[in-house]
Amino acid sequence: MQKAWWKESVVYQIYPRSFMDSNADGIGDIQGIISKLDYLKELGIDTIWLSPVYESPNDDNGYDISNYLSIMKEFGSMKDWEELLMEIHRRDMRLIMDLVVNHTSDEHEWFIQAKTSKENPYRDYYIWRDPKEDGSEPNNWASNFGGSAWEFNEETGDYYLHLFSKKQPDLNWENKKLREEIYTMMKWWLDKGIDGFRMDVINFISKVEGLPDGELKPGKQYASGSKYYRTGPFIHDYLQEMHRNVLSHYDVMTVGEMPGVTPEQAIDYTAEERNELNMVFQFEHVGLDNGPNGKWDLKPLNLHDLKKSLSRWQEALGDKGWNSLYFNNHDQPRALSRYADDGRYRIQSAKMLATLLHMMKGTPYVYQGEELGMTNVAFETITDYRDIETLRVYEELRNLGWTEEMIMMSIHAKSRDNARTPMQWSADENAGFTTGTPWINVNPNYQKINAENELNNPESVFYYYQKLIRLRKQNEIIVYGDYKLILEYHPEIYAYIRTYQDKRLLVICNFYENNPAFELPRDIHFMTKQLLASNYETEEQSDISRFTLQPYEARVYLLN
Ligand code: NOJ
């Protein structure tokens, strides 16, 4: 297995709107980020992934880009951005930018042109189809945000495709000129000195010829067309072309966001010799609490499912590809609230989940606030929510006859806004995020959970993350060791072994508040052992063949 800097990195994701506001307009900005770079350096991360900061009408908080080459005014200027890059590099950190090229905003110049006439030179940059004979949509695909994936365009009398909101028209990657424009844009940013890209829904860019109808479920008006646009027929050609024309000329990292991707497909995307991407974001492990009717249909996590899923990915990609490791991002509710205990055992839980993830094989991602043990929020009314997906689903579930109470319960558990409340810096008003009125309310628990408290407490979640990150830098086994699940059928403990050269790492995590007994499998022999991390005060124990775990306890041993 080849060594690489991006395999040894720990990435921190910034959602700029909610990170830090420097000018009291209630919206996070670039100068705010610059003011917190020392904080990130202290955490020990070495790469920052910045969610979109480009010009955008903000229908989907920047994931609807109207100009790829300029900075959103609310966030600052290109000069601010250049200062940010310089300050990041000055601290020996790297910056990867979000690349959103499955779609643009409908306010992008290309679309403004394209929609004016069928003869416009930009017309074919997007995906157009004639109405059916009765005037209805060309196929039955649903948008990922609800409703139809098609929008009628009066000027040309036909429909355009939008897999997300109608203000996010899908680009037509079959058009070579469009692809070249995108590559030129990517080079423009790379030449400015950035260190890579996170690629938004990049496995959606190739659609199956003919755009066939999806399978309609009973009682539904629209169907998922995902079978016809995930890992479509030309996806590998496009990514290899992108690699050849752009990425291969720079020393950068790439991570492709890929809803629905399987481990087998992920190997194709990330195998080194195929020259596509370095790693993908897969979604299996963040869908384990979805019921049969999807995300809003709540179901508790079954630990066995988590073991099965994460182990499958660890083993399948093994030496053939590379994994990304994440529990949180701007689209996911806080893992601490969904998969562990955000109440009585919040601190132990946050550290336990971090241990499980950071000791695995792959590149770990920390999402802002995760290192503080930030939790989900439960705003009382829908008017406090801002996310386009949440607002749409509220209407949809109401139309389906759900009660207000049921809807809000689902939203409290699953809304993307759980991850988007402002970063909790201190116990000051608005958590120190802004001196103005925040664009979305702060989680009321900020007086207890905030960075200032964490930094003042040596036992905090923050310092535990710092320690896990440092351990990764000091122990190659954490980066490169093989993974093997142990105690497969234990109902409460998730434990695994990493192996590298003559060393082994033993990771033990209790997922519940009981006191289960850990028993070391008999075939694991060693001469010496060293406790590398634990979320309780633990004495170096003479014998680890059998012991009782505390609620949500986690331990990491290095065995020799
Ligand atoms: C995935 C992004 O992470 C999400 O925030 C966005 O809404 C969709 N892609 C559409 O760009």
Q: Which domains does the chain have, with CATH numbers?
A: 11-102+176-465 (3.20.20.80), 109-161 (3.90.400.10), 480-559 (2.60.40.1180)
**DSSP letters along 219-271, please?**
T-SSB--GGGTTT-TTHHHHHHHHHHHTGGGS--EEEEE-TT--HHHHHHHH-
- Pocket residue to mutate for ligand 1, from 58, 63, 280, most atoms within 8 A of Cβ: 63
CB 67 within 8 A of CB 55: yes
419 lines ligand 1 (CB under 6 A): no
Q: From the DSSP assignment, how many helices (H) and strands (E) are in the chain?
A: 16, 22
Pairing of strands 546-548, 503-510: unpaired
Amino acid at 113: Q
Nearest atom (ligand 1) to Cα of 145: 7
Atom 5 of ligand 1, residue of closest alpha carbon: 331
Query: Smallest Cα–Cα separation from 300: which of 290, 286, 311, 310?
Result: 290
User: How far does residue 237's CA lie from ligand 1's centre (Å)?
Assistant: 23
Instruction: Kindly report the length of the chain.
Output: 560
Q: Is any ligand 1 atom within 6 A of the Cβ of residue 326?
A: no
**Separation CA 274–CA 270 (nearest Å):** 7
- Residue 542: the pLDDT is 76
Q: End-to-end distance of the chain based on CA atoms, in angstroms?
A: 22
Residue 357 Cα to ligand 1 middle (Å)? 23
Does 100 sit in the ligand 1 pocket, CB within 6 Å?
A: yes
Atom 2 in ligand 1: residue holding the nearest Cα:
200
CA of 258 to the centre of ligand 1 (A): 11
Query: In the prediction, which pLDDT does 365 show?
Result: 99
Q: Which residues contact 412 (CB under 8 A, 6 or more apart)?
A: 376, 377, 378, 418
CB 495 within 8 A of CB 303: no
Say if ligand 1 is within 6 A of residue 201 CB.
yes
Does residue 46 have its Cβ closer than 6 Å to ligand 1? no
pTM over 0.75: yes
Task: State residue 332's pLDDT score.
Answer: 98
HEC profile of 116-169: CCCCCCCHHHECEECCCCCCCCCCCEECCCCCECEEEECCCCEEEECCCCCCCC
Torsion sign (Cα): 126, 129, 135, 137: negative
- Report the chain (560 residues): mean pLDDT per 10 consecutive residues: 95 99 98 99 98 98 98 98 99 98 99 98 98 97 96 98 98 98 98 98 98 95 97 98 98 98 98 97 98 96 98 95 98 98 98 99 98 98 98 96 98 98 98 98 98 98 98 98 98 98 97 98 94 93 91 97
Residue of 50, 200, 202, 255 with the most ligand 1 atoms within 8 Å of its CB, for mutation: 200
Query: Which amino acid, one-letter code, is at 229?
Result: Y
Q: Name which of 268, 247, 248 is nearest 258 in CA terms.
A: 268
The pLDDT value recorded for residue 98 is: 98
- Annotated active-site residue 257? The verdict is yes
CB-count exposure of residue 63 (10 Å: 0-12, 13-18, 19+): buried
**Is any ligand 1 atom within 6 A of the Cβ of residue 15?**
no
539 burial (CB, 10 Å; 0-12 / 13-18 / 19+) is exposed
* 8 A C-beta contact, residue 231 and residue 175: no
Catalytic residue among 80, 170, 257, 289: 257
| Half-sphere exposure of residue 223: CA atoms within 13 angstroms, side-chain side | 16
- Give the CA count within 13 Å in the CB-facing half-sphere of 177: 7
Distance 13 CA to ligand 1 centre (A): 14
Q: Are 377 and 417 in contact (CB under 8 A)?
A: yes
211 within ligand 1 shell (Cβ under 6 A): no
| Cβ atoms < 10 Å from Cβ of 415 | 27
Burial call 249-265: b when 16+ CB within 10 Å, e when fewer: eeebbbbbbbebbbbeb
- Of 511, 451, 392, 399, whose CA–CA distance to 145 is shortest? 392
How confident is the model at residue 286, as a pLDDT? 98
| H/E stretch holding 357 | helix 346-358
Task: Give the distance (Å) from ligand 1 centre to CA of residue 204.
Answer: 12
Query: Locate tokens 């996806």: which residue?
Result: 235
Largest CA distance in the chain: 78
Q: Which helix (H) or strand (E) holds 46?
A: none
Centre of ligand 1 to C-alpha 330, Å, is 9
Tell me 171's DSSP state: B
Query: Does the Cβ of 164 fall within 6 Å of ligand 1?
Result: yes
> Does ligand 1 lie within 6 Å of residue 331's CB atom?
yes
| Catalytic residue chosen out of the listed positions 170, 200, 331, 371 | 200
The answer to whether the beta carbons of residues 476 and 526 sit under 8 Å apart is no
Q: Which residues pair with 558 in a beta bridge?
A: 505, 530
How high is the pLDDT of residue 319?
85
Ligand 1 probe mutation, 59, 164, 255, most atoms within 8 A of CB = 164
Is residue 200 annotated as part of the catalytic site, yes or no?
yes
Cβ within 8 Å of residue 443, ≥6 positions away: 374, 375, 377, 421, 422, 424, 431, 449
Strand pairing partners for 493? 510
